[in-house]
Structure 1
């Protein structure tokens, strides 16, 4: 009888701590630099650089950690080094050839290890949609450091790609978790994945993405209407999950909060676009901070806790810190809409965000020091 082959370590054991620490440090450093309160790195000297690192630095690291799954340690570390070098190159020499080459190296490695798994194993087109989403993000991250106008356009497209990924992957995490909770509580959740809603929203977001490639106003406004419809359907999907029946499960509540931010963010982006108006930058934070921040925070913590103890509430103290991310989003959105002075609110938002991700970094540090119940090498 042959001995069982050792299980490969999960890539998220490396990528999640790196992403959490980078989020905790990068955002406040960026804000303080743009406000002139401290020297800043060239890559973070503008709002465009700040957004670039939120999407292609932080968010793409979380995507990599979640979708790579088990990998040989050498491959995980090689990809992590490529990601780190891409960050250093962009921060010091944004738009340079080294920055583009390192971003492309990491992106190519991510596509190489992730895309074939979804194209080969997934049978339904909705499951296969992960492959083009990751490929699009990889391409946008490679080219996102080019000229200001090109970079802004690519960041907008990347945000839609991330919104689609959050919608799909978030739903696939929330639906079975809520169904399991319902069964434990003695009731049945009939609306789970909701495949028709899922498919419709993916088509709407894909349509908005394609229409955003066209340089004319009418297609752009139609794309905005698609985002509005996608936001309404996302909210409907959320309500059909009956979130009020899991008030005793903080791990589920923070997931649902992130999904609610996703619905709000799609509406905030879609309504002005459908009316032919530019989207106020403050409203974009419903997606980039509220949805992206809350969902990545929650999924990273939940994934590692389940892998270690098979219990997402094994360290319940981490869940309330997700509220700091919602505070950060509100501190960016509400004052701007009211025309209030922004410096103090910007500092509050940066501090709240940093507190949340420093707490998550602390959780990951404790996990590595606790009794190991994962395979050696994780």
Structure 2
């Protein structure tokens, strides 16, 4: 049944003309008459990803601190945050953005519902992998990212959108990391899969976040009539992207090697310099914009801390990893989810009180999670505090943004 659904999605895509007109994206969406939830890719994936994230973290903490069910292992937690939650947000963003990049028909309606069904099947399979068996659970879970990668490749190639081929490569690397994670019989594979996924996340933030952060900043500053403008893309940006890619590859293969630590530190510094050129301080009056800068800052900090831990074993590796996960991934995903949800549903591009509270909660969650390994006897209290704040952030998103995600876009006056 699940494999049949995967084949149905691919066949539906194969029926899309190879050279759709640019207006086909808007025209197809206007003609859609099905449930609003499946009218845009961001709607189901953002909502389900947020709900799943808000569930996975407390389940893992319960297992870690109180000895919950055997299936809720550390590996399950890592897998579900990287290949469950993160994959859902990436899918929501790209199934919405790629049609705009290529001018081709969007994936909506039944094919989108089936793609979401594959993601849900993976979550169920991972929860019940003890009953299904690791091999069966791994096959079911791997289908979503493999099909999703084929979707992105198909659309970008058919639309001749060469600029975004690196995005296709990163989604494919995420799918490969997931498969490696499931190779339990190969002792090194799971660790490589985990680190590969973290590297993909860092590169996606550097690549996509590096586009939208200065772009949205520039638009907002112009609208406010302010003269300060972010620096245009140039040598610093290219160097930061190259160093981030090299550092991610080196760390995935050799996490404890000193050259990996040096590359990570250089990548962190270059991204910090890149961020400083975008004039984020000038956007302090609009949380919907400054949160992007803060999310990118977490990326730089995460790379620096990961590099420091590779160079000095006394610095816990988990501090850098969680600066990247709870910090960069947590903050940047919510920044993108809130902004794109508001923009694509016709809401004002301004952060209301609930959105600002979400931003404060996720940053506090990241800070307390990074502090935990340095806290000695207070570690459990900080872990619990971080988990509660994380749940408040993502459950808060589902509560505040869920209604606009499941309802039709309001008519303009």
Cα distance per residue 1:132-189 (max 9 Å; x no partner)? 1111001112331332642122101210111000111112111111101111222344
Task: Say if 2:359 is the partner of 1:322.
Answer: yes
Cα distance per residue 1:228-282 (max 9 Å; x no partner)? 1111111112111112211110111222111111110111111222457785223
Cα distance per residue 1:40-80 (max 9 Å; x no partner)? 350x22x2221111111100110011011231311211111
Q: Once structures 1 and 2 are overlaid, which stretch shifts more, 161-170 or 184-193? A: 184-193
Q: Distance in 2 between matches of 1:19 and 1:335?
A: 25
Cα distance per residue 1:14-41 (max 9 Å; x no partner)? 111000000111111111111116x335
Q: Is the 8 A contact 1:221 1:274 kept in 2?
A: yes
Q: Is the 8 A contact 1:41 1:91 kept in 2?
A: no
Matching residue of 2:328? 291
Matching residue of 1:93? 129
Q: Distance in 2 between matches of 1:191 and 1:91?
A: 45
Q: Distance in 2 between matches of 1:320 and 1:10?
A: 26
Matching residue of 1:201? 240
Task: Say if 2:124 is the partner of 1:77.
Answer: no
Give the TM-score taking structure 1 as reference length.
0.89
Q: What pairs up with 1:299-310 in 2 under 5 angstroms?
A: 299-310=336-347
Matching residue of 2:40? 10
Q: What pairs up with 1:46-125 in 2 under 5 angstroms?
A: 47-69=74-96, 70-93=106-129, 96-119=134-157, 121-124=160-163
Aligned match for 1:351, one of 365, 382, 388: 388
Task: Say if 2:230 is the partner of 1:182.
Answer: no
Q: Give the number of equivalent residue pairs.
A: 366
Cα distance per residue 1:182-239 (max 9 Å; x no partner)? 112223444345242332222222222333454696xx32232222111111111211
Q: Distance in 1 between matches of 2:75 and 2:408?
A: 43
Cα distance per residue 1:327-369 (max 9 Å; x no partner)? 1122122232242432211111110000011110012322146
Q: Distance in 1 between matches of 2:251 and 2:320?
A: 18
Aligned match for 2:318, one of 255, 263, 281: 281
Q: Distance in 2 between matches of 1:162 and 1:215?
A: 18
Cα RMSD of the aligned pairs, angstroms, is 2.5
Q: Is the 8 A contact 1:178 1:189 kept in 2?
A: no
> 1:123/1:106 Cα in 2 relative to 1: closer, same or farther (>3 Å)?
closer
Q: Distance in 1 between matches of 2:248 and 2:324?
A: 15
Q: Is the 8 A contact 2:248 2:264 kept in 1?
A: no
Structure 1 stretches of 5 or more lacking a match? Answer: none
| SS of equivalent residue, structure 2 residue 345 | helix
> 1:344/1:118 Cα in 2 relative to 1: closer, same or farther (>3 Å)?
same
Q: Distance in 2 between matches of 1:56 and 1:368?
A: 22
Q: Is the 8 A contact 2:142 2:179 kept in 1?
A: yes
